[in-house]
Amino acid sequence: MTTWAIGDLQGCYDPLQRLLEKINFDPAHDRLWFCGDLVNRGGQSLETLRLVQSLDIHSEVVLGNHDLSLLSIAERREDEQRRVNPDLQRVLFAEDRDKLLGWLRQRKLYHQDMVLGWAMAHAGVHPKWNLKVAAKRAQEVERILHGKNCGKLLKVMYGDRPQWSPKLTGLERQRAIINVFTRMRYTTPQGRIAFEQKGRPGSQQSGLYPWFEAPERKPMDLRVVFGHWSTLGLFMGYGIHAIDTGCVWGGKLTALELSPAGELPRIVQVPGRAVPAGEAAKDD
């Protein structure tokens, strides 16, 4: 059996199909880990969501910021839902909308497999958390998202404040945890997230570090795979593996074989979406 982690899809159904063919994915033997941001911008979010949902028993999926944004938009009035981009509207007004969004809401913020030796989050793991702590923090939010009263959290989860602190409680604590797992790129040595910094390493302000290079980052017992950071691109080092290679912006869609300890992971890539003329790339 082979387990593959796949980078951010953002509604790029055709590249996903090409990638599954190239890795010879066999659901009878193989598993897939999706690093989040299944939807938005690619023009085929509905088809992408349907395909990944159909692979549910063969896969693990963590939520990205765009997935959570879709769930939040679904809590709004219909007239507000009709103001979002056409790609997301196709999901919001599909006949199987409730099935798809209900399934999406039940996904995790963080996943780890001790036997396989890998962990996965959309954006990463807070540099002051070890993986045991990360799992506990994620579960705090997952209990709310998976419950019947998730609407309140989905309506107020936006915002750069507060920064994470173990003293936080309630909705502020949940928002801070979500920001760590789905929006983090750069932090201070103390672990404060610099949300406005989105460029590739070397472009950030002085005193900021990619979260995985933060001084005194907690050691991790597993290798970590994540997406979210298309300007970082494919990166492997420090026990972390970044695989958002900008599929939606005309880059590539990447699959990373989650190999056993001591073996180098195999990388497979296919061309990403054909970007319409005049569409500018951005990383958020």
Of 83, 6, 86, nearest to 38 by C-alpha is 6
Write the CB contacts of 200 (distance below 8 Å, at least 6 apart in sequence).
231, 232, 233
- With 70 as the cut, is the pLDDT of residue 280 above it? no
For residue 121 the two structure tokens come to 């989050």
Provide DSSP, 82-99: TTS-HHHHHHHTSTTHHH
Q: What is the rounded average pLDDT for all residues in the chain?
A: 96
SS3 of 235, please?
A: strand
SS3 of 178, please?
A: helix
Q: What is the pLDDT of residue 210?
A: 98
Question: Is the distance from CB of 114 to CB of 222 less than 8 angstroms?
Answer: yes
Of 186, 129, 135, 157, nearest to 67 by C-alpha is 157
Q: What is the pLDDT of residue 47?
A: 98
Of 243, 262, 261, nearest to 253 by C-alpha is 243
Instruction: Give CA–CA dist 118/133, Å, rounded.
Output: 16
Tell me the per-residue pLDDT of 80-107, one tens digit each, with 9 for 90 and over. 999 999 999 999 999 999 999 999 999 9
Higher pLDDT, 30 or 281: 30
What does the pLDDT average to over 100-120?
97
The residue length of the chain stands at: 284
Full-model pTM = 0.96
Tell me the per-residue pLDDT of 47-90, one tens digit each, with 9 for 90 and over. 999 999 999 999 999 999 999 999 999 999 999 999 999 999 99
Radius of gyration of the chain (CA): 18
Instruction: Give CA–CA dist 176/180, Å, rounded.
Output: 6
β-pair partners for 220: none
Instruction: Give CA–CA dist 230/236, Å, rounded.
Output: 14
All structural domains of the chain with their residue ranges = 34-271
Tell me the per-residue pLDDT of 208-224, one tens digit each, with 9 for 90 and over. 999 999 998 999 999 99
Q: What is the pLDDT of residue 282?
A: 72
Instruction: Give CA–CA dist 247/14, Å, rounded.
Output: 11
- With 70 as the cut, is the pLDDT of residue 177 above it? yes
Which listed CATH number (3.50.50.60, 3.40.718.10, 3.30.465.10, 3.60.21.10) goes with 34-271? Answer: 3.60.21.10
Q: Which helix (H) or strand (E) covers residue 32, if one does?
A: strand 31-34
Question: Is the distance from CB of 40 to CB of 85 less than 8 angstroms?
Answer: yes
- With 90 as the cut, is the pLDDT of residue 281 above it? no
pLDDT band (50, 70, 90) for residue 36 = very high
Look up tokens 């900008």; give the residue.
246
Q: Is 190 exposed, middle or buried (0-12, 13-18, 19+ CB in 10 A)?
A: exposed
β-pair partners for 193: 187
Tell me the per-residue pLDDT of 246-264, one tens digit each, with 9 for 90 and over. 999 999 999 999 998 878 8
What does the pLDDT average to over 184-206?
96
pLDDT band (50, 70, 90) for residue 242 = very high
Of 138, 126, 122, 127, nearest to 226 by C-alpha is 122
- With 90 as the cut, is the pLDDT of residue 284 above it? no
